[in-house]
Amino acid sequence: MAGSGGYLIVNFPSQRVFDKLTSGPPKDPHAPPKPKNPNAPDPMQQLHDLARQLSLVLDLRVAGKTHVTFGTGRSPKITINAVFGKIGSFFRKD
């Protein structure tokens, strides 16, 4: 983690660590799926809006490569590194 002024960089060592931390609480495999609320706010947009209100730029990185930037523009910026990292995580063995 590094920061200067209104810019904060959070670097995760690997895609596996990033996925583990951003996946949320563990889910019960026997529980029925919850219906999605179409009016529920997007958590990424909420974080982006909060960063903008605080005049903060939050740069989330995996292995030194930017994956998502919050606080600039109208919506979070998701990079191609994030897309390739997520696709690659489907093929890894746990």
Q: Could you tell me the residue ranges of all domains in the chain?
A: 2-21+43-89
Q: What is the pLDDT of residue 26?
A: 81
Burial of 81 (0-12, 13-18, 19+ CB in 10 A): middle
Q: What is the pLDDT of residue 53?
A: 94
Torsion 70-71-72-75 (CA) sign: positive
Q: What is the pLDDT of residues 22-51, one digit of tens each?
A: 887 888 888 888 888 888 888 889 999 999
Q: What is the pLDDT of residues 69-78, one digit of tens each?
A: 999 999 999 8
pTM: 0.74
Torsion 27-1-60-86 (CA) sign: negative
- How far, in Å, CA of 79 to CA of 15, rounded? 14
Best CA proximity match to 47, nearest among 19, 11, 20, 77: 77
What is the residue type of 83?
V
Structure-block tokens of residue 88: 């690659």
Best CA proximity match to 48, nearest among 36, 63, 40, 59: 59
